[in-house]
Structure 1
Amino acid sequence: MKVIAQRLTLGLAALLMAPTAGLASEDIADQYPQSELYSKPVEVIPHVFSAIGATAPPTYENAGHNNNLSFIVTSEGVVVINAGASDALAAAVHQEIRNVTDQPVVLVINENGQGHAMLGNGYWRDQGVDVLAHVDATAEVRENGDFILQRMQAYNKDRAGQTRIEPANLSFEDRYDLALGGVEIQVLHLGPAHDPGDTQVWLPQWGMMIAGDIAFHERMLPIFEHTCTSCWIDTWQERFEAYAPTYVIPGHGHPTNMDQVRRYTLDYLLDLRGKIGTHIEEGGDLASAYYVDQSRWEGLDTFEELATKNAGRVFEEMEWE
């Protein structure tokens, strides 16, 4: 076990010391121009790979690859986390898997119902691969899938290809367990967080959490109209922290550890809610709430796109708490 732990630590350390790893920026151009992927998958720890997406909004230039597309290689098959934002991205991930193993893909997991998690489902289903999602994520796809697809087609143009809406054919509510090639894989829904049906994948033997969008790193998290930030904080503090993973692949940003994702996720949510709470107590209105001080976070990618929107949405949430 000591040797395995050393291998894991060295693998993650090598990744974090790579030339582009510690310097995520939304201004960094496509790192893997020969592929539809924004970056080539890296082996984060032995047997767990991730193609790290751009820390930027989805664009034609990054083909919508602005989240992390991960896969677990075992002696009995491969499990993929996130189908990708198009059939072309799904096919690109599949090719990368073929480059490292002859094992077939046996399951794809959608981390939520967002486009970059599920728009590639059609490609995987055409390969005969089961797709698993939380029941709330599947409901989101059924309700808003056409709009999500149209939004992707608008920025991705010809790169959208023949992508179609294909809901997951398998679902779960609280937890879905599987053992594959001696690897225990726990698919979890720890509670409400960023988006309906947020899903985490826990690998207890290796201390690895593929966290999905409960955890962000290096870029500002977006708060949607339906996001309950108080619920997100509760889920984090009451359930997510209990796993105490050694390694974390966040939904966005480079693989890291709990201290870093806590800083850029939980600490940000607590800070913004604290600022908005004070603003409300002092009689502030929505118009001025957009400009509460978030300068502590201005170094994060997507700050300019999201900071004021986030403040407004938290005000609307907290006004009635």
Structure 2
Amino acid sequence: MRLLPLDLALVSALVALPALASEDIADQYPASLLYSKPVEVIPNVFSAIGATAPPTYENAGHNNNLSFIITDDGVVVVNGGGSYLLAKALHDEIKVVTDQPVKLVLNENGQGHAMLGNSYWAEQGVEIVAHVDAAAEFEAYGGQSLRATQARVKERADQTTVTLPTQTFEDAYVVVMGGTEIEARYLGPAHSPGDIVVWLPQQSLVISGDMAFHERMLPIFEHTMTADWIETWEAAFEPLGATYVVPGHGHPTNMDQVRRYTHDYLVYLREKVGAHLEAGGGLAEAFYVDQTPYAHLDTFEELATKNAGRVYEQMEFE
């Protein structure tokens, strides 16, 4: 089954305009375990956009983007999914739009919502590839992630097991499938260990994973080194010059939008916390540095104070 190209004006409008966030909508696609039906971002590149809320039973833990690329010689899936059944639901949608088999799954990082669905894809005999650091992270903490998912989504986590990638890489993993060049790249430290982007140079499209956020506030973990993330962005991610960006969370957009809410947010927060440190301020007050320019983002209430506290702890010893 060969897909017809979309109207390019419509595609341009899709990526150029901000989309409505979805934190307050429990499930946009009741016919499937997926939070939303996959949409065609550009011809032959689809993404099932996850909720911008934290994972819940209602959204079945589908709070990240599950994407796939259709070529003339098979399908590449980006993200294993947050459970066996979520991965199966994505596969069901793939089968609706193409007869091509899934030949490769790329895990964007070592978090549960990127890798727990590996259990389904391994059962299908599909090659699963991730960065070596992401695989190590999942090996260390996958059991913990699975237990949390089982407690949260209950029977929707049935058949899910901790299944590691079948292959790892350090710098880049490049395939040419059906004439389409697909590059999984590790650009440097960012949000979590082993974060990668998937770059389609012929289409000028990047599936950025958690390198880039825009509709929901980015989370800063204990191991998220914000200075390194900014450096990776400026030295390697921005120079890609991508026309289209499919972020790890939220709707497809462009580089200007993700820069504003990722790079610029990190710079802003570090400046606020830095000024607080210079004034002799302590950790207790650092939680409440002004972040109002970003208060409209989903998950702001859950993450803003935590982010500020973690940046304070990092910068205190820089």
Question: What TM-score comes out, normalization by structure 1 length?
Answer: 0.96
Give the alignment partner of residue 215 of structure 1, picking from 209, 212, 215.
Answer: 212
CA contact (8 A) 1:12 1:44 kept: no
Matched to 1:143, the amino acid is: A
Taking the TM superposition and a 5 Å limit, the aligned residue runs for 1:103-118 are: 103-118=100-115
1:54 paired to 2:51: yes
Taking the TM superposition and a 5 Å limit, the aligned residue runs for 1:83-232 are: 83-232=80-229
Match of 1:318 in 2: 315
Does 296-305 or 24-33 show the bigger shift? 24-33
Match of 1:269 in 2: 266
Distance (Å, rounded) in 1 between the aligned partners of 2:43 and 2:15: 12
In structure 2, the CA distance between the partners of 1:43 and 1:12, relative to structure 1 (3 Å rule), is: farther
Match of 2:303 in 1: 306
Give the alignment partner of residue 276 of structure 2, picking from 276, 279, 289.
Answer: 279
Q: Where do 4+ consecutive residues of structure 1 move more than 6 Å? A: none
Matched to 1:309, the amino acid is: K
Distance (Å, rounded) in 1 between the aligned partners of 2:37 and 2:136: 32
Q: Deviations over 1:23-43 (max 9, x none)?
A: 113002311001000000000
Distance (Å, rounded) in 1 between the aligned partners of 2:303 and 2:38: 28
Distance (Å, rounded) in 2 between the aligned partners of 1:243 and 1:96: 30
Give the alignment partner of residue 82 of structure 1, picking from 76, 79, 84.
Answer: 79
Matched to 1:99, the amino acid is: V
Q: Deviations over 1:66-115 (max 9, x none)?
A: 00000000010000000110001000000010000000000000000001
Alpha-carbon deviation of 1:9?
4.8
Q: Deviations over 1:111-143 (max 9, x none)?
A: 000011000001000000010000000000111
CA contact (8 A) 1:7 1:46 kept: no
Give the alignment partner of residue 260 of structure 1, picking from 238, 257, 260.
Answer: 257
- 1:44 match: secondary structure: strand
Match of 1:239 in 2: 236
Alpha-carbon deviation of 1:7?
4.5
Match of 1:11 in 2: 11
Distance (Å, rounded) in 2 between the aligned partners of 1:166 and 1:5: 36
Distance (Å, rounded) in 1 between the aligned partners of 2:34 and 2:25: 14
Alpha-carbon deviation of 1:217?
1.5
Alpha-carbon deviation of 1:153?
1.0
Instruction: Give the CA RMSD over aligned residues.
Output: 1.5
Q: Deviations over 1:228-267 (max 9, x none)?
A: 0000000000111111100000011100000000011001
Alpha-carbon deviation of 1:158?
1.3
Alpha-carbon deviation of 1:12?
4.3
Match of 1:40 in 2: 37
CA contact (8 A) 1:54 1:67 kept: yes
Alpha-carbon deviation of 1:185?
0.6
Identical aligned residues as a percent: 65
Alpha-carbon deviation of 1:62?
0.4
Alpha-carbon deviation of 1:22?
1.8
Aligned length: 315
Distance (Å, rounded) in 1 between the aligned partners of 2:5 and 2:43: 10
Alpha-carbon deviation of 1:194?
0.1
Give the alignment partner of residue 289 of structure 2, picking from 268, 271, 292.
Answer: 292
CA contact (8 A) 1:217 1:260 kept: yes
Alpha-carbon deviation of 1:11?
2.2
Does 71-80 or 158-167 show the bigger shift? 158-167
Gaps (5+ residues) in structure 2?
none
